[in-house]
Amino acid sequence: MSDNTIGHWLDGKPFAGTSDKTAPVTNPATGQITGQVALATVEDARTVIASAAAAFPAWRDTSLAKRTAIIFKFRELLNAKKGELAEIITAEHGKVLSDALGEISRGQEVVEFACGIPHLLKGGFTENASTKVDIYSIRQPLGPVGIISPFNFPAMVPMWFFPIAIAAGNTVVLKPSEKDPTASLWIAELWEEAGLPPGVFNVLQGDKVSVDELLENTSIKSISFVGSTPIAQYVYSTGTSHGKRVQALGGAKNHAIVLPDADLDLAADAMVNAGFGSAGERCMAISALVAVGNIADELVAKIVERTTPLVTGDGTRGADMGPLVTKAHRDKVASYVDAGEAAGATIVVDGRTVQADGGEDGFWLGPTLIDNVTTDMSIYTDEIFGPVLSVVRVDTYDEALELINSNPYGNGTAIFTNDGGAARRFQNEVEVGMIGINVPIPVPMAYYSFGGWKNSLFGDTHAHGMEGVHFFTRGKAVTSRWLDPSHRGINLGFPEND
C-alpha cells in the first residue's frame, strides 16, 4: 500500500491488512483526493475481530477501578487535544471547525458519563429472601461488540457507544465511514496513550464486506449502527438473525412547528441554525418547517434576512457553513431542489448558485429555502440530508400534528410557542422520540437516551444513557445458601420459598 493509505487499528497499533482495494478520501472544500482508505477483505475483518475476542477475557476481569482510571485519562487527553481531531474532521467531512469542536464536545459528554460506570453497574441484593437464602443481581459485559458509524459525525456518533461499551468491560471493533476514516485512527491512538490494553479498541476500515462480517461473525455479540433507514433495516435483520443484540438508528425527516403566538425572531434564528448547520448533514437537522396560521410570510422573510449574509466556504477560513461531503451527494441534494422547483414550489433562497469561499472544485451548495412545499413533493417526502429547508403552510395545530404523526420517520421534532398548554399537549401527542420546546435540535444530554421512533429506530434500545449501559451488559440473578444443614436431603418437588 502507498504511504497515503488509511488502514486499520489492531492490537494497539496500525494494521495495513492484506487487501489492495481502496476508496478515495477527499477534502470537500477543494475536491482534491487526500488519501486512500483500505477496504478490508473478509480475512482482514476476521483478524481484527479476533483481536477483540482475544482481549476480552482480561479486560472483562480488569477491576472497575482500573477501567475507570483509563476512561478518565482518555477524557483528559481528549479535552487537551480535541483541536487536532476537529481539524481532521473538517479536512475530510467539510464541516466548519467550530462545528467539529462542538461535535467532539457532545461526544465527550458520553465519555464523562462513562467515568461513572461503577455506580451505573451496581446490582441489587436481597438478604433472607427465603430462609437463609440471599438473592442478588449483577451485570456483566457482552464480549466483543461492533460499532458501524456514519460520515456525518465521525467522532460524536462512535462516542455515543464505545465509552460505555469499554467502561462496562466489552472490547470494541469500530467500522467508520469510508468518507472520513482518519478520525477513528486518531481516537485509537488516544486510547493507546491513555493506557487501554491492546485489542480492547480496534478499527476496521472497509465497505459492505466489513459490515457483513461484523453482522455475521459469531465473536461479535452486539451491533450499534447509525445511518440511513434502508441500511438500518438491513443491519437489524441481518444482525438479529445471527443472534446479536442490535440497535440500529435510521433516517429522519424532522419537522418544526411554529405556532402563531411564537417569538418569530427566535424561531427564525432556530430554523437557520437547525436547517443549515453542518450543511444540513445531521440526523437531527430540521428539514420541514410547518408554519401554522397567518405567520408564514413574516417568518419566511425573517429567515431570508438571516440566511442571505451566511458565508459558505472552506471550514478552516471562518465560514458559516461548509461544503457537502462528496460531489455525488452534492449533486443528489441539488437534484431535489430541481425537482421541488419543477413541482411548483417557490425557491426563495437558491443555494445552487452560491459563490463559495473555497476551492473551485469544492462540493458547494449554499443554504436553500423553499416555500409553498406540498406533502406530495419528493423534497418533502425524502430525507435529503443537505442544507435545504422546506416551508409547509397549514391552518391549524391539528393539521401540523398530523403531518408529523403520519410521517414514517420519528427521530426529532420541535415546537415554537409561548403557550405552555400547547407545548405540553404537543409533547404528549407527537409520535417522535426526541422533542424540543423552543429548542430546534433536541439532542439529549448523555445521561438521557438518544433515539427515535418508527422508521428512525430498529431495535428497542436507544443510544447512551442507562439504555446504553443495559445494552452493553446482561444481567445475572444469583440465588445462594451457605452451609445450612437443615436443608439437606432429597426433594424432587419444585423449590418453594419458606
Q: Give the residue numbers marked as catalytic.
A: 283
Q: Is 33 exposed, middle or buried (0-12, 13-18, 19+ CB in 10 A)?
A: exposed
User: Which residues, at least 6 apart from 163, have a Cβ–Cβ distance to it below 8 Å?
Assistant: 71, 74, 110, 111, 113, 114
CA-CA distance, 472 to 477, in Å (whole number)?
17
Judged by DSSP in three states, 61 sits in coil
Amino acid identity, position 29: A
Amino acid identity, position 441: I
> What distances in angstroms separate CA 206 from CA 21, 36, 349, one per listed residue?
9, 11, 38
Q: H or E stretch including 329?
A: helix 327-342
Q: What's the grid cell of residue 389? A: 429547508
Strand pairing category for 8-10 and 13-15: antiparallel
DSSP bridge partners of 473:
141
In Å, how far from its chain's centre is CA 289? 23
> What distances in angstroms separate CA 363 from CA 33, 323, 382, one per listed residue?
13, 5, 21
Q: 156-167 and 97-114 are packed helices; what angle lies between their axes, rounded to 10 degrees?
A: 20
Strand pairing category for 245-249 and 222-226: parallel
Q: What's the grid cell of residue 309? A: 449574509
CA-CA distance, 259 to 257, in Å (whole number)?
6
**Phi/psi of residue 299, nearest 5 degrees:** -65, -45
Strand pairing category for 457-458 and 245-249: antiparallel
> What distances in angstroms separate CA 340 from CA 121, 286, 374, 481, one per listed residue?
51, 17, 9, 71
